[in-house]
Structure 1
């Protein structure tokens, strides 16, 4: 019986695959993306193939040039959620996630203030479920209001 724990994929490989998906599905020519981001076209092709690593700044520029919400996509990919990154990157969910990732730390800090030392890591999963449920209920509420407005006319 094999008791070895599978090694997680290398960050460089995950980033290369995620960037490749973003660029390939952007609808933009690679030469335009390369020019806009300061990459030589050959260097961009090496990034997509995974034979050239990129800095975080370069990855963010490439995601932005591909029309992808850069911070949220990068966060998902690096957090081991590569498929979600790919699925969300060209949809409004990706934009929502990008804004949530950017605003949540400051929002939590402001809301918790003196209670920061009382927060426990074990609460994170439950809190994420609560936030997801609130977002879902908010969407349902908006849909109900839109429907009632449409029927009321």
Structure 2
């Protein structure tokens, strides 16, 4: 749940802080990130300090230059999950969410077809919990299988 207000200024501040984390974790100099993002170094500095409004295209360019998953990071920040965006952007979870967010709409359309109109927004939280539990169980099953293979050698 977002804990911060949803004003454009607050969203810009959250995005600036997240982009600063991306730049700091990129493992390359800021001038190189700026060049790869197609902006001047001073502009990048003003953006990550929150001194200048950020467009989504600029944010995407910075994230891409930093090697962070663009859609997943932006979705988390815009949904009010700035801490998770910063934590996961340079982690397998960020890459997982990038693929998940890309695949989910098509998979929902294919699986539900004309029944999409039957969905209720109130089901979203329960569905997200179900997906998280299924993923956890799946990971546990893989770990158990790997352990049994290692023991069997």
What TM-score range do you get, normalising by the shorter chain?
over 0.9
1:12 to partner: Cα distance: 0.9
**Unaligned stretches of 5+ residues in structure 1:** 1-5
What are the within-5 Å matches in structure 2 for residues 60-79 of structure 1?
A: 60-79=60-79
Look up the match of 1:58. 58
Look up the match of 2:24. 24
Look up the match of 1:152. 152
Give the total of aligned pairs.
Answer: 148
Q: TM-score, normalised by structure 2?
A: 0.93
What are the within-5 Å matches in structure 2 for residues 118-129 of structure 1?
A: 118-129=118-129
Look up the match of 1:106. 106
> Which 4+ stretches in 1 moved above 4 angstroms?
none
Q: What is the alpha-carbon distance in structure 1 between the residues aligned to residue 45 and residue 37 of structure 2?
A: 13
Q: What is the alpha-carbon distance in structure 2 between the residues aligned to residue 75 and residue 68 of structure 1?
A: 13
Look up the match of 2:45. 45
Moved more, 6-15 or 57-66: 6-15
Q: TM-score, normalised by structure 1?
A: 0.93
8 Å Cα contact 2:88-2:94 kept in structure 1: yes
**Unaligned stretches of 5+ residues in structure 2:** none
| Structure 1 vs Structure 2 CA RMSD | 1.2
Q: What is the alpha-carbon distance in structure 2 between the residues aligned to residue 7 and residue 13 of structure 1?
A: 11
Higher relative contact order (CA 8 A, sep 6+): 2
1:67 to partner: Cα distance: 1.2
